[in-house]
């Protein structure tokens, strides 16, 4: 795509985002990221159908599934409390957090979006004044405005204090991200660090690696051993996928114990097509939209 055309599209993205024109924003950013038009009238590919779900299905009514505190009730109902990390507290206001009441290691997370995290390995070394400023910035943010995902629009901003799991802070930790369609896991996106970079690849449910069509710098080329509890991981993902048309169920396995990560309805905010070309059509065909 010519440089000037990209600059023009980038300006349009900002314009549509600022004025709340969600459909126009979605179409423009899709064209910018994929160099092809987004078909919302008759979506065919996976990313097109994710965009449709983002705009017309998974809206404010589904907010509790992305609220990091409220979703715990759903997880507990579906698979039991043992898969959840331990909560220390939940706070509406940063000033309600008493640092003296927290253990030496803990994690603070915004319940209303992604990336709102402060991981504390040693409380004695924490700059609490700076951390409070960061937390207040999180609470003043509405994640909806970042990618126009209406599912986040009405999520109540809160801070969740959780038990610190040192394995989750390890560069070698593996994310198992199950692409579930109409309640059934299909493929697993495996993500971890390799050569100092976060990389990912797909495996099928029999743990066969799916090779990319083209070389990608962030592709995970090293072989990841099949987890000992793969069958349980698949079962947990299926139970959490429930009746959703599409959801990605993110899980961890630490010493063969499974921990719930999150439910992701729009991978990469639906902006990009999948790197494995055949999956764009294959997964797209599996998703039956209510249109």
Q: For residues 3 and 56, what is the distance between their CA atoms, to the nearest angstrom?
A: 32
| CA–CA distances in Å: residue 48 to residues 147, 149, 272, 284 | 15, 15, 9, 8
Per residue in 40-50, pLDDT tens? 999 999 999 99
Task: Report pLDDT for 2.
Answer: 60
Q: For residues 33 and 42, what is the distance between their CA atoms, to the nearest angstrom?
A: 20
Mean pLDDT of 85-101: 97
Higher pLDDT, 291 or 275: 275
Domain residue ranges in the chain: 3-56, 64-169, 175-286
Question: Which CATH number describes the domain made up of 175-286?
Answer: 3.30.470
Per residue in 209-223, pLDDT tens? 998 877 678 889 889
Quote the pTM value.
0.93
């Amino acid at each position: 795509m010519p440089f000037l055309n990209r600059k023009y599209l980038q300006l349009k993205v900002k314009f549509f985002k600022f004025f709340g024109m969600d459909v126009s924003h979605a179409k423009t950013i899709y064209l910018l990221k994929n160099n092809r038009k987004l078909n919302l009238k008759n979506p065919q590919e996976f990313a097109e159908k994710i965009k449709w779900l983002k705009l017309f299905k998974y809206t404010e009514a589904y907010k509790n599934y992305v609220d990091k505190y409220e979703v715990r009730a759903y997880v507990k109902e579906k698979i039991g409390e043992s898969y959840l990390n331990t909560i220390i507290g939940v706070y509406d206001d940063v000033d309600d957090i008493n640092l003296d009441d927290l253990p030496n290691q803990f994690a603070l997370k915004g319940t209303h979006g992604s990336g709102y995290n402060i991981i504390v390995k040693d409380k004695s070394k924490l700059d609490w004044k700076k951390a409070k400023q960061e937390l207040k910035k999180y609470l003043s943010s509405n994640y909806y405005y970042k990618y126009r995902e209406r599912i986040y629009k009405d999520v109540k901003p809160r801070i969740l204090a959780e038990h610190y799991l040192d394995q989750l802070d390890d560069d070698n930790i593996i994310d198992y991200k199950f692409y579930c369609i109409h309640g059934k896991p299909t493929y697993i996106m495996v993500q971890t660090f390799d050569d100092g970079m976060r990389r990912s690849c797909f495996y099928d449910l029999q743990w066969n690696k799916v090779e990319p069509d083209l070389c990608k710098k962030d592709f995970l080329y090293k072989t990841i051993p099949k987890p000992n509890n793969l069958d349980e991981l698949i079962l947990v993902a299926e139970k959490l996928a429930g009746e959703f048309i599409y959801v990605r169920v993110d899980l961890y396995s630490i010493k063969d114990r499974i921990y719930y990560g999150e439910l992701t309805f729009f991978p990469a905010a639906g902006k990009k097509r999948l790197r494995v070309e055949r999956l764009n059509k294959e997964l797209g065909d599996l998703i039956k939209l209510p249109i």
